[in-house]
């Protein structure tokens, strides 16, 4: 084994910038190593559940004794190929020395510190860190608790008035202040709005489950934003994912004040409510009546399939079940969201390997409906090959570990589709396109769709 004691002080590890928004690229460079020397670079962090996450990559220093992560491909590690941010998105949760499939818990807007370490022959010879920001300098958080609302408004610097965005979580419930703050850092007034507790059981003021949620609640949120002098009342968008994507499309079709919609992994149909699992009860109401929805009916064969997955420790998927429950001709119009009523552009995003539900097919159906009704605004579907359910904002965030599978315990694993690399790459690409869409829709002049 090489004696590195005399070389420790010679190595130079440069991580730049040391503080940056989470969607900004970070450079990692090692110099003054021995030419041809093997180095292991590790990234470590702790999420908001106090769980450890880590990644690694093995490199060989070039003839100048340099390893540049942004220019060199690792010989081994948690990711493949040349990738400046590979060490960040490829981090996995580690418990008792074993990797575990899990969500990366990051709901608050507090910075995330990632430690970078250099190892030679099993010894750490250099350490640095980078602070990943979700809120840029000057972004302010304002609690929204009036009129029964439960949310946090993130305001960018400046007097405004600023265009506004409402962000909507999916079937896990709660709200994501982290991603709302990130979007506010790009110049928008962003309301992270909770509408049921779900997994956020300590959240007060909203129903426990996704059942009988009145659309009037969101109408109040729209009005609350429009009353603020620092918000442009004529420039309002909604962004949602999964059931939040379904909701975003439904709100756009219901309230003319909404001038742009971004729906990630959505459904163009209204589905039943959720209370820990799908129910036969409605998810949404309006004017005291249930919004027509597609009832959930679990078959014996489907139940036995889940039981088999549990016994064999095979990852569970739900895509096929939703495909079998596609509405027939007599029901489809009743439960379809009338997206053609939306008073502004629509952006749909889905992965072709979504294993939670067939959001890619749902998006194609929405596109067909918009075309059939000669929708008067721009509409686009970003379809990503190989990507799964959690592929875009506000869940898929550049450089954060993407979600592909969840192992909640008891030997159960849920497969949401996609690979870590595909979902990570899609998060970066779709984020840029979401920002471009919002810029054009809320800051530029909205024009009619070109036939």
Give the integer Cα–Cα distance in Å for 120 and 67. 13
**pLDDT tens digits, residue range 65-83?**
999 999 999 999 999 999 9
Respond yes or no on whether the N-terminal peptide bond of residue 442 is cis (omega within 30° of 0): no
3-state secondary structure (DSSP) of residue 46:
strand
Architecture of domain 8-133: Sandwich (2.60)
Tell me what pLDDT residue 312 has. Answer: 53
Sign of CA dihedral 394, 398, 403, 408: negative
pLDDT per position in the chain (451 positions), as tens? 444 444 444 789 999 999 999 999 999 999 999 999 999 999 999 999 999 999 999 999 999 999 999 999 999 999 999 999 999 999 999 987 777 788 899 999 999 999 999 999 999 999 999 999 999 999 999 999 999 999 999 999 999 999 999 999 999 999 999 999 999 999 999 999 999 999 888 899 999 999 999 999 999 999 999 999 999 999 999 999 999 999 999 999 999 999 999 999 999 999 999 987 667 899 999 999 999 999 877 655 565 555 555 555 667 888 998 998 899 888 999 999 999 999 999 999 999 999 999 999 999 999 999 999 999 999 999 999 999 999 999 999 999 999 998 876 656 788 999 999 999 999 999 999 999 999 999 997 544 333 2
Tell me what pLDDT residue 255 has. Answer: 99
Tell me what pLDDT residue 448 has. Answer: 39
Tell me what pLDDT residue 410 has. Answer: 56
In contact, 51 and 112? CB cutoff 8 Å: no
Sign of CA dihedral 393, 395, 399, 404: negative
Give the integer Cα–Cα distance in Å for 398 and 433. 13
Kindly state the greatest CA–CA separation across the chain.
78
Predicted TM-score (pTM) of the model is 0.93
Q: Where in the chain is the domain with CATH 3.40.50.1820?
A: 140-443
Tell me what pLDDT residue 446 has. Answer: 44
Give the integer Cα–Cα distance in Å for 175 and 150. 9
Tell me what pLDDT residue 310 has. Answer: 52
Q: Where in the chain is the domain with CATH 2.60.40.2240?
A: 8-133
Least Cα distance to 239 among 214, 219, 265 occurs for: 265
β-pair partners for 231: 162
Give the integer Cα–Cα distance in Å for 168 and 178. 13
Cβ density class 234-245: b for 16+ within 10 Å, e for less = ebbbbbbbbbbb
In order, the DSSP letters of 315-347 are: PB--HHHHHHT---HHHHHHHB--GGG-SS-EE
How many beta carbons lie within 10 A of that of residue 65, not counting itself?
A: 18
CATH 3.40.50.2000 correct for 140-443: no
Cβ density class 13-46: b for 16+ within 10 Å, e for less = bebeeeebbbbeebebbbeebeeebbbbbbbbbe
Q: Angle, nearest 10°, between helix axes 215-226 and 243-254?
A: 70
């Amino acid at each position: 084994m090489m004696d590195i004691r005399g070389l420790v002080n010679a190595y130079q590890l440069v991580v730049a910038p040391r503080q940056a928004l989470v969607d900004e690229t970070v450079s990692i460079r090692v110099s003054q190593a021995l030419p041809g020397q093997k180095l292991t670079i590790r990234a470590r962090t702790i999420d908001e559940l106090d769980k450890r996450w880590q990644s690694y990559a093995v490199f060989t220093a070039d003839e100048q004794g340099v390893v540049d992560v942004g220019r060199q491909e690792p010989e081994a590690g948690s990711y493949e190929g040349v990738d400046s941010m590979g060490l960040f998105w490829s981090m996995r949760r580690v418990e008792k020395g074993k990797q575990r499939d899990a969500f990366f818990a990051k709901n608050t807007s507090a910075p995330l510190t990632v430690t970078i370490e250099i190892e030679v022959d099993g010894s750490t010879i250099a350490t640095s860190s980078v602070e990943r920001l979700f809120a840029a300098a000057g972004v302010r958080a304002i609690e929204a608790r009036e009129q029964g609302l439960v949310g946090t408004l993130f305001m960018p610097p400046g007097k405004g008035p600023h265009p506004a965005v409402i962000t909507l979580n999916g079937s896990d419930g709660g709200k994501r202040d982290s991603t709302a703050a990130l979007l506010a850092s790009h110049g928008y007034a962003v309301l992270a709005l909770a509408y049921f507790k779900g997994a956020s059981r300590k959240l007060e003021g909203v129903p426990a489950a996704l059942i009988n949620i009145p659309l009037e609640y969101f109408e109040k949120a729209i009005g609350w934003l429009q009353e603020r002098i620092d918000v442009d009342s004529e420039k309002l968008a909604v962004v949602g994912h999964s059931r939040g994507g379904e909701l975003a499309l439904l709100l756009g079709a219901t309230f003319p004040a909404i001038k742009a919609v971004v729906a990630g992994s959505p459904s163009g149909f209204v589905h039943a409510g959720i209370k820990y699992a799908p129910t036969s009860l409605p998810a949404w109401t309006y004017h005291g009546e249930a919004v027509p929805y597609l009832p959930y009916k679990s078959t014996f064969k489907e139940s036995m399939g889940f039981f088999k997955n549990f016994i064999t420790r095979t990852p569970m998927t739900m895509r096929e079940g939703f495909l079998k429950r596609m509405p027939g001709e007599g029901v489809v119009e009743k439960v379809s969201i009338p997206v053609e009523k939306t008073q502004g552009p629509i952006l749909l995003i889905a992965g072709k390997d979504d294993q939670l539900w067939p959001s890619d097919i749902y998006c194609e159906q929405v596109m067909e409906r918009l075309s059939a009704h000669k929708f008067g605004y721009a509409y686009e579907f970003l379809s990503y090959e190989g990507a799964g359910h959690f592929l875009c904002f506000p869940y898929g965030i550049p450089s954060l570990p993407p979600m592909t599978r969840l192992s909640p315990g008891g030997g159960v694993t849920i497969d949401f589709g996609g690979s870590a690399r595909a979902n990570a790459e899609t998060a970066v690409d779709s984020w840029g396109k979401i920002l471009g869409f919002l810029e054009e829709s809320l800051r530029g002049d909205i024009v009619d769709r070109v036939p």
